[in-house]
Structure 1
Amino acid sequence: MKKRIVLYKRLSEGLLAQLQAQVEVTWVDMAKPDGLARLRDALPGAHGLLGASLRLDSALLDLAPQLEVVASVSVGVDNYDINDLHRRGVMLTNTPDVLTETTADTGFALLLATARRVVELAGWVRDGHWQASLGPAHFGTDVHGKRLGIVGMGRIGEALARRGAAGFGMQVLYHSQRPKPQVEARYGARYCTLDALLGEADYVCLTVPLSASTEGLIGARELGLMKPEAILVNIARGRVVDEAALIKALRARRIRGAGLDVFVQEPLAQDSPLLQLDNVVATPHIGSATHETREAMARCAVDNLLAALSGQRPPNLVTPGYI
């Protein structure tokens, strides 16, 4: 008898067929008003879950006593209580590696767009305001040759370092839990304390995972350490930044601008003060949002889930304690 899984993220026809050949699939559309109720109804008897962007709390997990694996179509796992899953003997998997380059592209796109005021000035042209040559009031700031500060030197941080150093001749500064000699050798990067990085960098890019130690990492004090001409780019998680403090700093032009792909509340409310500021480029959490990368992430999640349900160690196991 096939094992049962609950799918709450749409898959391509090919991947869905691969799943259905090996397991019984119950599809739940979480975008519908009854999505959560249907998920709750589907959890009893489920051996696997596959999806993303759903906070699996203990009340939901209590409904799935036969659950063996949760295959998250994401690299971040802050939606899950890993200790609780481990206690229940449930494996959690994620999809690292396949989104590294695409997310780094997004980070650098935000950096460039904010520095050169691309979104603001494209709208200015669209609204018919380009009647003469531009003056200093519409100038941006250079990216090449500047100091790139990366907070969190994991896979995505290193991909950003490569783009900055090799593509734009930037001096790379970084802060992470420990120095990374290989990164320093490859890109001429320099390890700094967080305070030193904030004080020196022209561009501060956040790539850290969300955890108890990184929530609110960048607040009023840290923003105050940044240079007035510096730009903040966040492709990590919204709660890594104190959003109220950031809005205050941007309004006061305490820093030059911010390129943001993540927010405390998502989707971002239409009345958010961030959307009223001309020195903010805001995108709707598109870090990995390309056709190629999302398909690769889904394929990785399917492989993880099927491996776990067949008694093998999944390739991208997050929960400890499994051999």
Structure 2
Amino acid sequence: MKIALLSHVELEAGYPEKFAQAGFDIVFATTPAQRAELDANTAARVKAVLTIGVIGLSAAEIAALPALEMICAQGVGYERIDLDAAKQRNITVTNGPGTNNVSVADHTLALMLAITRNIAWLDTRTRQGEWTRSRLVPPAMTGKKLGIIGLGNIGGLIAERCVGGFSMQVGYFNRRPLELSEHRDWRYFPDALSLAEWADYLVVATPGGKETLKLVDAAVLKALGPKGYLINISRGSNVDNQALIHSLQQREIAGAALDVVDGEPQVPAEMIALTDNLILTPHLAGRSPESIANMMHLVLENLQAYFNQQPVLTPVA
């Protein structure tokens, strides 16, 4: 008999068949309504859930799945999975660290260049026939100062690309300084405010959750200043939406590029209206054929390990 797997995410072509071949019967519930209306018979047989950090699995949802034994977070994030509720039921939780790091780092550089050179705005004006009318002189990115909030694996890849490709200086804010190799003269800052005061680019790459809620607030944005750019590829909740909207409307910062928005997939109307100093992408920094293959392979390995009574590869403590 196949193992019932509830998936909160759509799977790319070919992957449902791979899960089926591995012995899993997938039930899709990719919208809040579908998850809320899951029928009792289906809920009673679900033994595993595939989700992502921004969707997660609440205590109430866990309680509604009496046969649940395993929760798999597709990517590295798991901030909305109720770990306490899972622990009380002895439910195994896994995630996907490292599976999409390269894709996120690449997308970050794309966002940085796009907002610096105002690519989206210029593309629109050019298509409207304004070839010679624009007097915009966008700045260069080379040689500027990069500030990273959350210098983990992804933050490190971003820093390496900025140093190697654009000769940028690197500063970072973590809960504590890191032991870096001798060739990395990256500067530690004790808080986000002092990092923002120093940086030309402030990249948010820290995990989401209560500890980082609205970490980038009005004070941090003001410190970043009128020549500074904010890039967020982590979690929307790490940035204060209203403070950012105000900063962009008042030109208190030069611009922002966001792959994530607090409250996504809903985007505030005030953000939609900001066409010349804000770039938005729909939380796809971590998505590429390579990263999807990495994530799905790890999810399957963890599922098969658990249901074959072997240790999972990437357990969440």
TM-score, normalised relative to structure 2 = 0.92
Match of 1:145 among 143, 146, 150: 143
**Runs (5+) with no aligned partner, structure 1:** none
Distance in 2, matches of 1:173 and 1:93, equals 31
Equivalent residue for 2:185? Answer: 188
- Are 1:26 and 1:42, in contact at CA under 8 Å, matched by a contact in 2? no
For the pair 1:201 / 2:202, whether they are aligned, the reply is no
| Identity %, equivalent residues | 29
Distance in 2, matches of 1:13 and 1:246, equals 37
Of stretches 186-195 and 122-131 in structure 1, the one that deviates more from structure 2 is 186-195
- Are 1:5 and 1:50, in contact at CA under 8 Å, matched by a contact in 2? yes
Once the two structures are superposed, residues 97-119 of structure 1 have per-residue CA deviations (whole angstroms, 9 ceiling, x without a partner) of 11001001111111111111011
In structure 2, the CA distance between the partners of 1:92 and 1:142, relative to structure 1 (3 Å rule), is same
Q: What is the deviation of 1:170?
A: 0.2
Q: What is the deviation of 1:21?
A: 3.5
- Are 1:28 and 1:38, in contact at CA under 8 Å, matched by a contact in 2? no
Please list, as runs of the form range in 1=range in 2, the aligned pairs for 1:86-97 lying within 5 A after superposition: 86-97=87-98
Distance in 1, matches of 2:287 and 2:173, equals 27
Once the two structures are superposed, residues 247-275 of structure 1 have per-residue CA deviations (whole angstroms, 9 ceiling, x without a partner) of 11111111111011110121233x62112
Equivalent residue for 2:100? Answer: 99
In structure 2, the CA distance between the partners of 1:171 and 1:13, relative to structure 1 (3 Å rule), is closer
> Would you say how many aligned residue pairs link Structure 1 and Structure 2?
314
SS in 2 for 1:197: helix
- Are 1:147 and 1:201, in contact at CA under 8 Å, matched by a contact in 2? yes
Once the two structures are superposed, residues 63-83 of structure 1 have per-residue CA deviations (whole angstroms, 9 ceiling, x without a partner) of 222211111212111121112
Distance in 2, matches of 1:232 and 1:10, equals 30
Please list, as runs of the form range in 1=range in 2, the aligned pairs for 1:6-85 lying within 5 A after superposition: 6-12=6-12, 15-31=15-31, 34=34, 36-38=36-38, 41-52=41-52, 54-85=55-86
Of stretches 88-97 and 60-69 in structure 1, the one that deviates more from structure 2 is 60-69
Once the two structures are superposed, residues 150-200 of structure 1 have per-residue CA deviations (whole angstroms, 9 ceiling, x without a partner) of 000111100011011111100000111121122x63432111122221101
In structure 2, the CA distance between the partners of 1:289 and 1:22, relative to structure 1 (3 Å rule), is closer
Q: What is the deviation of 1:283?
A: 0.9
Q: What is the deviation of 1:3?
A: 3.6
**Runs (5+) with no aligned partner, structure 2:** none
One-letter code of the match for 1:104? A
One-letter code of the match for 1:170? M
Equivalent residue for 1:117? Answer: 118
Q: Which has the higher contact order (CA 8 A, sep 6+)?
A: 1
Please list, as runs of the form range in 1=range in 2, the aligned pairs for 1:200-239 lying within 5 A after superposition: 200-239=198-237
Please list, as runs of the form range in 1=range in 2, the aligned pairs for 1:270-289 lying within 5 A after superposition: 272-277=269-274, 278-289=276-287
- Are 1:72 and 1:93, in contact at CA under 8 Å, matched by a contact in 2? yes
Q: What is the deviation of 1:295?
A: 2.5
SS in 1 for 2:157: helix
Distance in 2, matches of 1:146 and 1:159, equals 17
SS in 2 for 1:268: coil
Distance in 1, matches of 2:222 and 2:280, equals 22
- Are 2:145 and 2:168, in contact at CA under 8 Å, matched by a contact in 1? yes
In structure 2, the CA distance between the partners of 1:3 and 1:151, relative to structure 1 (3 Å rule), is same
Distance in 1, matches of 2:289 and 2:22, equals 25
Q: What is the deviation of 1:24?
A: 4.0
Match of 1:291 among 278, 289, 292: 289
TM-score, normalised relative to structure 1 = 0.90
Match of 1:312 among 310, 313, 316: 310
In structure 2, the CA distance between the partners of 1:37 and 1:180, relative to structure 1 (3 Å rule), is same
Distance in 1, matches of 2:32 and 2:259, equals 25
SS in 1 for 2:113: helix
In structure 2, the CA distance between the partners of 1:253 and 1:305, relative to structure 1 (3 Å rule), is same
Equivalent residue for 1:131? Answer: 132
- Are 2:5 and 2:25, in contact at CA under 8 Å, matched by a contact in 1? yes
> How much is the aligned-residue C-alpha RMSD, in angstroms?
2.0
One-letter code of the match for 1:63? A
Of stretches 190-199 and 140-149 in structure 1, the one that deviates more from structure 2 is 190-199
Once the two structures are superposed, residues 121-168 of structure 1 have per-residue CA deviations (whole angstroms, 9 ceiling, x without a partner) of 111101111135x53xx1111111010000001111000110111111
Distance in 2, matches of 1:32 and 1:174, equals 37
Q: What is the deviation of 1:220?
A: 1.0
